[in-house]
Amino acid sequence: MRAIVPRVVHPTEWSEETFPLGKEMDPARYLRNLGIIQEERIRRNLALWSESNYGAHCDARCRDRITLFGSPLFTVNAWYNPDRNVITIPAGILQPPFYHPQYTDASAYGTIGWVVAHELSHSEDDHGILYDKDGVLRATWTQDSLLEYRKRANCLVHEYSTLEDCKADAYGEQTLCENVADNNGVRIAYEALFEDPATRHLHTLEDKREFILAGAQMWCASYTAQVLCDSARDDVHAAALMRVRKTFAQLPYFAEVMGCAVGDPMHRHAHERCALFGATA
């Protein structure tokens, strides 16, 4: 995690794209231009990877240089590249409901804070743990650690195993990586603001509730039953309603902050919650 290269809003290093003679852009031939761009990017990336020995001797600046944003800067999304250990936060997501300059700390940590922590946590998801700090695919965990990790991850597989009335037999496995990132991410964001000894005395119970409500509203969505079940077939993210209900139910602080009584669906005892990392895992 400490070795992750974070890119926010724009690449750390800009470079002008040039194309071989005879393959200049033609304003009247859009699809041809796209083909040339893709072909040249593939050629350039292969050369860059070869130059860096496919990441084995690639420092942070090198990893940033060989990792294209991959999407326009106005894209409303964020992502993690395990093969280069890089996270990308484009400008497009830095707007409501994910971010606003006037958000309080509680709302900012519950929204964009959760998003950033989610991407950081992908370095520890079911795929991220297969790569080392330089993005090289190689074993860094002991076999015992991997077995323990899988045992804890199976709790999340079971927790997210079904989606409403949709046929989704392997839903928990299908969405596992994103659920690891969501559950670890929301906890990182919460604890960064409210559990830090240097700042926790500055925040009230209302601030903690605001964090949770802001995070829940971030995933507010409306869709038909058909769309929901279509997502169960091919989306690696859990449905928005589960990203709220299931994820917050695993947060150790949720029931106390929101005043959930014993027996309420969102009140989970420690042995009923899933935790991959930390003293309570």
**Residues 51-72: tens digit of each pLDDT:** 666 556 677 887 887 777 777 8
The reply to whether 147 falls in a domain is: yes
How confident is the model at residue 47, as a pLDDT? 77
Report yes or no: 8 and 89 within 8 Å, Cβ to Cβ.
Answer: yes
Q: Are 246 and 109 members of one domain?
A: yes
pLDDT confidence bin for 199, thresholds 50/70/90: confident
Q: Name the percent of the chain lying above pLDDT 70.
A: 95
How confident is the model at residue 54, as a pLDDT? 57
Q: Are 65 and 29 members of one domain?
A: yes
Report yes or no: 115 and 92 within 8 Å, Cβ to Cβ.
Answer: no
Q: How many domains, the chain?
A: 2
pLDDT above 90 for 244: yes
What is the arithmetic mean of pLDDT over 19-25?
82
Among residues 221, 190, 194, 2, the alpha carbon closest in space to that of 97 is found at 221
Q: Are 126 and 153 members of one domain?
A: yes
How confident is the model at residue 41, as a pLDDT? 80
Q: Are 85 and 205 members of one domain?
A: no
**Residues 251-270: tens digit of each pLDDT:** 999 999 999 999 999 999 99
Q: Name the percent of the chain lying above pLDDT 90.
A: 67
Q: Are 191 and 89 members of one domain?
A: no
How confident is the model at residue 205, as a pLDDT? 96
Residue 275 vs residue 278, higher pLDDT:
275
Q: Are 151 and 247 members of one domain?
A: yes
Distance CA 123, CA 251 (A): 20
Distance CA 125, CA 268 (A): 23
Q: Are 132 and 86 members of one domain?
A: no
Give residue 260's identity as a one-letter amino acid code.
C
Domain of residue 42: give its range: 2-93
How confident is the model at residue 148, as a pLDDT? 94
pLDDT above 60 for 178: yes
The reply to whether 98 falls in a domain is: no
How confident is the model at residue 98, as a pLDDT? 95
Q: Are 161 and 33 members of one domain?
A: no
Provide the annotated active-site residues.
119, 182
**Residues 139-163: tens digit of each pLDDT:** 899 999 999 999 999 999 999 999 9
How confident is the model at residue 242, as a pLDDT? 94
Both structure tokens of 111: 């929204």
Q: Are 224 and 138 members of one domain?
A: yes
- pTM, whole model, 2 decimals? 0.87
**Residues 127-140: tens digit of each pLDDT:** 999 999 888 888 89
The reply to whether 185 falls in a domain is: yes
Both structure tokens of 213: 């409500």
CATH of the domain at 228: 3.40.390.10
Both structure tokens of 90: 């484009």
How confident is the model at residue 56, as a pLDDT? 60
How confident is the model at residue 55, as a pLDDT? 56
With vertex at residue 32, the alpha carbon angle to CA 27 and CA 33, rounded to the nearest 5 degrees, is: 55
Q: Are 58 and 129 members of one domain?
A: no
Report yes or no: 242 and 163 within 8 Å, Cβ to Cβ.
Answer: yes
How confident is the model at residue 237, as a pLDDT? 96
Helix axis angle, 176-194 relative to 143-159, nearest 10°?
90
Q: Are 145 and 278 members of one domain?
A: yes
How confident is the model at residue 262, as a pLDDT? 93
How confident is the model at residue 225, as a pLDDT? 92
What is the arithmetic mean of pLDDT over 13-24?
77
How confident is the model at residue 146, as a pLDDT? 94
